[in-house]
Homo-oligomer: A and B are copies of this chain.
């Protein structure tokens, strides 16, 4: 079933829900799902409606025209998305295969509703996996001292594939600030710790050193501050003194796969709205 997703954020004010609901009802929209959130600290309002495309008597273009007046009145940031227009997604990876394999299987079996269009990696290891799924695989070499050139190539590929979203599926190079800004809100990373604990390199080693009894993973938007962008989802697993670093790496993979898959799913279904350095996730 084709649906439209109307996603809004704006200054909080009485009457927003009524105005939007009335607009939708007057055009016959049969609502599948509706969510609001009011951030009382920030004085900001967030809203997502999903409704059956067939139920509404307006074309998407006509909807946009008509709604823009209402949107202006409430100073809305807004978008309306056609669920049948799938996002283009580029996956980036290094040597570790578990997140890539997990996302590819979910996509391949119809669980992830997007177009994965290419895999970019800084190693050769995962080419077969991408190719079996019928995907182009781009091995970009990250030479020490000249990562700029490599990231230029990455940028070109992102643009060439018209990627809506880029997923760093255990891609072990730090995204440069300029790219973070160019693709703000569109690059999703999985970090292998429950942030803000153990940001940066070798989080499982850090966790082992500290002697924590839980490890985790965090799915977040990439920003110029390393591992400090808006968090979309997190997952943890219990460990004990018996777990070596290798055990933690193995158990942690479960968290990584789950947090990343859930976070990406929320993102491509337009359920995530960035709110400063936080997120609203309508699940």
Which residues does chain B contribute within 8 Å of A275, judged by CB atoms?
A: 211, 241
| Residue A19 CB within 8 A of the other chain | yes
Interface size on A, residues (CB 8 A): 63
Q: In the complex, are the beta carbons of A18 and B14 less than 8 A apart?
A: no
Q: How far is the CA of A279 from the CA of B26 in the complex (A)?
A: 31
The answer, among B34, B234, B278, for a CB contact under 8 Å with A241, is B278
| Residue A179 CB within 8 A of the other chain | no
Q: In the complex, are the beta carbons of A231 and B258 less than 8 A apart?
A: no
Which DSSP category, helix, strand, loop or mixed, fits chain A's interface?
A: mixed
| Residue A68 CB within 8 A of the other chain | no
| Residue A144 CB within 8 A of the other chain | no
The answer, among B111, B132, B213, B254, for a CB contact under 8 Å with A234, is B213
Which residues does chain B contribute within 8 Å of A252, judged by CB atoms?
A: none
Q: In the complex, are the beta carbons of A231 and B213 less than 8 A apart?
A: yes
Besides A18-B24, A37-B241, A194-B214, 16 other A-B contacts (C-beta < 8 A) = A17-B25, A17-B31, A18-B22, A19-B25, A20-B21, A34-B36, A98-B109, A101-B105, A111-B250, A194-B197, A194-B236, A197-B197, A211-B230, A213-B231, A213-B281, A214-B234
- 22 pairs, A vs B, C-beta closer than 8 Å: A14-B28, A14-B29, A14-B30, A15-B25, A18-B18, A18-B21, A19-B25, A20-B21, A22-B22, A98-B109, A101-B101, A102-B105, A105-B105, A194-B197, A195-B197, A196-B197, A210-B277, A211-B279, A213-B232, A214-B216, A241-B279, A241-B281
